[in-house]
Amino acid sequence: MSEEQIKELEIQFEARIARDEKIEPKDWMPEKYRQTHIRQMSQHAHSEIIGMLPEGNWITRAPTLRRKVALLAKVQDEGGHGLYLYSATETLGITRDELLEQLHTGKAKYSSIFNYPAISWADMGAIGWLVDGAAIINQIALCGASYGPYARAMVRICKEESFHQRQGYEILVTLMKGTQEQKNMAQDALNRFWWPSLMMFGPTDAESPHTAQSMKWKLKRKTNDDLRQQFIDQTVPQAELIGLTIPDSDLKWNEEKQQYDSGEINWDEFWQVVKGHGPCNKERMKARIAAHENGQWVRDAAMAYAEKKEKRKTNK
Contact positions vs Fe ion (CB under 5 A)? 48, 78, 81, 132, 161, 164
From the CB of 9, what's the least distance to another protein, in Å?
Answer: 11
Backbone angles phi, psi at 147, to 5 degrees: -80, 115
Residue 101 interacts with another protein (CB under 8 A)?
A: no
88-122 b/e (C-beta count within 10 Å ≥ 16 → b): bbbbbebeeebbbebbeeeebbbbbbbbbebebbb
**Distance, CA of 195 to CA of 51 (rounded, Å):** 17
**Distance, CA of 18 to CA of 224 (rounded, Å):** 21
Residue 161 interacts with another protein (CB under 8 A)?
A: no
Residue 299 interacts with another protein (CB under 8 A)?
A: yes
Question: For residues 80 and 117, which CB has a smaller minimum distance to another protein in the complex?
Answer: 80
Angle at 226 between CA 225 and CA 230, to 5 degrees: 115
Which residues, at least 6 apart from 46, have a Cβ–Cβ distance to it below 8 Å? 82, 99, 103, 108, 109, 110
Stretches 53-61, 74-82, 184-192, 246-254: which one binds another protein (CB under 8 A)? 74-82
- Which H or E run includes 254? strand 252-254
Q: Which of 8, 15, 21, 24 touches another protein by CB under 8 A?
A: 24
Stretches 35-43, 188-196, 257-265, 296-304: which one binds another protein (CB under 8 A)? 296-304
168 by DSSP, 3-state: which? helix
**Distance, CA of 28 to CA of 6 (rounded, Å):** 10
Residue 76 interacts with another protein (CB under 8 A)?
A: yes
78 binds, among Fe ion, another protein, none (CB under 5 to 8 A by kind): Fe ion
Residue 310 interacts with another protein (CB under 8 A)?
A: yes
**Distance, CA of 111 to CA of 114 (rounded, Å):** 6
Angle at 64 between CA 61 and CA 67, to 5 degrees: 85
Other Cβ atoms within 10 Å of 160 Cβ, number? 15
248 binds, among another protein, Fe ion, none (CB under 5 to 8 A by kind): none
Residue 90 interacts with another protein (CB under 8 A)?
A: yes
Question: For residues 90 and 161, which CB has a smaller minimum distance to Fe ion in the complex?
Answer: 161
Question: For residues 37 and 81, which CB has a smaller minimum distance to Fe ion in the complex?
Answer: 81
Question: For residues 33 and 193, which CB has a smaller minimum distance to another protein in the complex?
Answer: 33
From the CB of 47, what's the least distance to Fe ion, in Å?
Answer: 8
From the CB of 135, what's the least distance to Fe ion, in Å?
Answer: 6
Residues near another protein (CB under 8 A): 24, 26-28, 73, 76-77, 80, 83-84, 87, 90, 95-97, 152-153, 156, 160, 296, 299-300, 302-306, 309-310
